Every structure is written in structure tokens, then in C-alpha cells.
Chain A
């Protein structure tokens, strides 16, 4: 008992001391070193540590890196905080329009970014930001079909529609993301994957009810794990996930569905009330440099929109159609876009699907 009493007394003293020290420290750090920092708010593991360290060495600007894993949470933080601390954020394509509408992003001066020319023109000027006034492409990817060759012959799979086959009962994995799930259903019905029409969404929902007995799990945190653990035999997941799973297990293979892939594009952007705008430009320009973009792409594993960097990548990655799909496919594919208030309808049917 004495031990515990001592422990509690010590921690009491400790906690009072740290409370005071940390509070005063927090008050001073945020105000003094303002021109030497940049606050980067990014998706997790989307930027390797050594790149940050090199940037700090080269410019003397300290990068405060923090992460989120959900666009909506990032939006809430930027929107609600009057004194927003972040200088760079990375909204997904469909989210850019929303942030521009809410006037949360500032216009980007491309002249300040001399590495902007490295970017792939096919991935610029997308519908959510037609002239790239607000955003710089950072990473992109698509949803394709993964199969476990020991359980399913990949040659018999051609399209998303094959997921509906009766023999795949309780074998299918889908992303736990309503837009992704509905996209698949809409596409097999030959409808627009970004539809805002309630009756079309309803049709897609009814179609998904047929698929329900096949669905073993929804997972978008780490969908490859279910494949690696042998829990599922087939499913629609992100290409980068399959690529990493294939490195671990040769039995896993992929199919680019006949209906076309569903693309997403994550973008660098600067919030309207960023405090270290010049440093943000420096960091963005650094990231766009061919050698740096190559290093980031190697570490992250997803596809870089940086053409100059792609040339530096090892051939087996740069020419891998799983990571960098053919040009036509990219041009004909759908990019996930904002659906406005129709999102509520998607959500309602997605919940109904799970009930």
C-alpha cells in the first residue's frame, strides 16, 4: 500500500509540474518561431520521415507533421478553428469542391512552384478543380478487383459483375466506404458512378442487396490484411493495397474490371488562413521535385502524378499496369466527385444495406 501511496503522490507532483511547464511552453512556442515552421496536415504514412528531415536541412524550416485519416475530420478542424494552425492539407478530389465552396482554400500561385511542370497533364484540370487553381495532385489510385489464385481462377473474372456470382457466397470483401461500394453497383447497372439521382441510388442499393450474401466483410482500414490472412477470396480494393499484398503473397492477383476503374486523387492545398504560406510553397515545391517525388512514391507505394519522378522509378514499378494503368483507362475512368446533398441518400441506403 505504501508503494501505491508513494506512486500516487509522485504522479500528483509530476502532473502538476508538467501541466504548468507544458502549458507555458505551448504558449511560447506557437508565437515565437513563426517564420521558421510549416504545419503539414496529411494522411498517415503519406510522407516518409527522411524527406521531412532533408527539407529541414536544406531550408532550415521546421516541419510540424500531423495526420488524419478522414476528410470530414480534417474539414471540421479547418472549418471550426478560427485560428487554424495548418499550412498544408491534403483533401481528396471529391472533397476539394466542398472546401472551395466553403472558402477554406486559397488560390495557388503556380509561378511560385517551378516544379509544377513535372506533373502529368492527364491528372491536371479535373472536374473538381478545372484549372488547378486551388490544388496540386499528390497521389492517385483506383479501385480494382483482387483475387486469391488458390481459391478462384482469375481468368473467370472479368468485371465487377462477377462479384455477384452465387459460388462466391461469404467470400467477398468490399471497402467500408459507401461511395466505393455504390460505384461498383452503379457501374454494373451501367449508370453514372457519381450519380445524384435518388432513384438510381435506390436501384444500386437493390442491386447490392443481391450481393449481400456474398459479402464477408467491409474493410477500408487495411483491406489487404483480409486477403493475406486468407479470410476472403475476392474483392474490390485499392490498387496500392493489392500491390503491397502481392509483394507478401504471390497467390494474390488483380483484375482491372471491364466496367472501368474508379479513380481517386489526393491533392495538396493551402487553407485560406494559413500562417506560413511562403514556407508552404517551399515545401510543396520541394515535394514536386523529381528526385524527392520518386523517393516519396517508393516509400508510399501508391501512384505518383509526377511524370518526371516516374521516369526515375524502377521499371517494374513504373511499367506496372496495376499502379500506373494505361492512358485510355485513365481517360475513360471515373474520378470520384462531390455529390453534394445526395451523400445523405447514399449514407441512408448504405446503412439500410447493413441493417
Chain B
């Protein structure tokens, strides 16, 4: 990208609303994200009040409790299912999306991707209950497997951490497939052919050509799966039998079960601090936004 300057003027001729758009871009997140979360973070430094949720009195007690009441390990514990989910969705989505974009016509591709989204227009809660019926001890999966004599005794999947992961993967997989599709769809197959012509092996072609070109999709997809999975709490309740506590459940418990808004806000701030650390490390490693 050397001749940037010269393009700039031309592009801004198309979008002469540059200044308007950048101020809009800044305004919305500031008003509806920064301010509300700043209020929430402020509350995390206030004293809990039984009647009014919080008292206007500064304290660090909530943050001390993070250490004292062993909340830090919970954060680390809830990273594990999120990470596993991200890896599984990537491993499933990547080859299948690639296959879709390589082997079908444009029209069929769109149809197949659309088929991935359709289930998500019905309530995710209802589908979580559907998963419960499928995975149940006397459920559909077990009945089929026993009938086919693959297993002799029913698998006890439901109300285990495995069921939680299955639920996460199920609910978040379109968030991986969509970004992958939007980078793979425009991948020029001539590049791959060229690599073959140059006698590159399949692995080499993948590592040197396909993977780097699809990396933006992988990154965006992983973010879109990993981040929301940390905060989802009803999956652990419905499919995991509410036995394990993930960070999302802790936050929900403080806000909705004991009305301790300062502590809930503190736990949320902990998540945000963790996110910022993660982004800093990520930026060091790969320079977000610049190639």
C-alpha cells in the first residue's frame, strides 16, 4: 500500500460525509457503551445497600472480596469452556465453510449459509431445551445409540460440563461460520491453483496461501464466539444443571439474587480488565488492523 495518499482523495469523494461519519462512529459507543459502563464501574467502588442497591460511599472492599472469596479462580475456570468452545467451533466451521465456498455455485453457497442462520430465528432458550431432550439419559441420542448397539448403557451427558460445551457450540457456531464465509467467499481459487502449479503440497498451500488469507475471518469469528460465551449463563443452568459456576452466573447471582449491585459491577469490571489485558497481548502479537 504505497500510493495511499493519492487514493485517499478519490475515496473521500465518494464518501464526503467522512467527518460526520467519524463523529457518529465515536458518539454512539461513547453515549451507549462508555457512559453506562462508566456508571457501572463507579458503582463497583460504592458500598452495598440493602434498600437502595448502593450507598454513595467509596470503598475497595468489593475488590478485596475478589481475592478473599476466591472469585479469581472462577474467572480462570470459566475461560476453559469458552476456549474449548472456540476451538471446537473453529475446527468444525473452518473445513466445512471452506468446502461450501469451493464446491458449490454462488447461489447454492448463499442458500447453505442461510440454512445455518434459519434455526437461530427461533428462541435459543427453546433450542437449549431441545438439546436437553436430545441429550437426556432417556433422550433421543441415547435411544438411537442403544438401538444401533453402539453403546449398552445410556450415556450420562446431560447436567455435565460436556453438555454445557455442546450447548455453547450449538448456540455460537453461526458467529464463526458467518465471518469465515465472508473471507473465504472472496478467496481467489486461482491463487490456490497457482500454488499447486508451483508444486506446493496440500499442507504448504494451506499454511502459506489459504490460512493467511482467511486469518481475518478466523480472528473475527473467534472473538465473536469466545467473548459472548464468557457471559452466557443460562446454558450452564439449563444444560449443566446449574452445578458449575461460570463468571456469567456469578455476575447474574450478585445482580439478580442478592441485589448486590456493587459486587456484580466489580465482577463485571474484573471481566473487562481481563478483556483489556487480552487485547493488549493480542495487539502486541499481531497488530490488530494492520498488515
Contact = CB atoms under 8 A, between A and B. Distances in A.
Answer yes or no: are A and B bound together in one complex: yes
B34 interface: no
Contacts of B159: 216-217, 231
B185 interface: no
B166 to A, nearest CB: 16
A343 interface: yes
A354 B257 contact: no
A77 to B, nearest CB: 12
Contact of A231 (B52, B70, B158, B243): B158
Interface in A312-355: 340-341, 343-344, 346-348, 350-352, 354-355
A102 interface: yes
A129 interface: no
Interface residues of A, number: 34
A218 B50 contact: no
A219 B242 contact: yes
Interface in A206-249: 215-219, 221, 225, 229-231
A176 interface: yes
Interface residues of B, number: 34
Contacts of B256: 70, 72-73
Interface string B231-251: 000000110011111000010
Contacts of A350: 253
A229 B243 contact: no
B53 interface: yes
Contact of A344 (B74, B133, B156, B258): B258
Interface stretch (B134-142, B217-225, B275-283): B134-142
Nearest to A104: B51
Contacts of B52: 79, 102
17 contacts: A73-B256, A75-B259, A79-B52, A216-B241, A217-B243, A218-B243, A219-B241, A230-B136, A230-B137, A231-B136, A231-B158, A344-B258, A344-B260, A347-B254, A350-B253, A351-B245, A354-B244
Interface of A: 70, 72-73, 75-76, 79, 98, 101-102, 170, 176, 178, 215-219, 221, 225, 229-231, 340-341, 343-344, 346-348, 350-352, 354-355
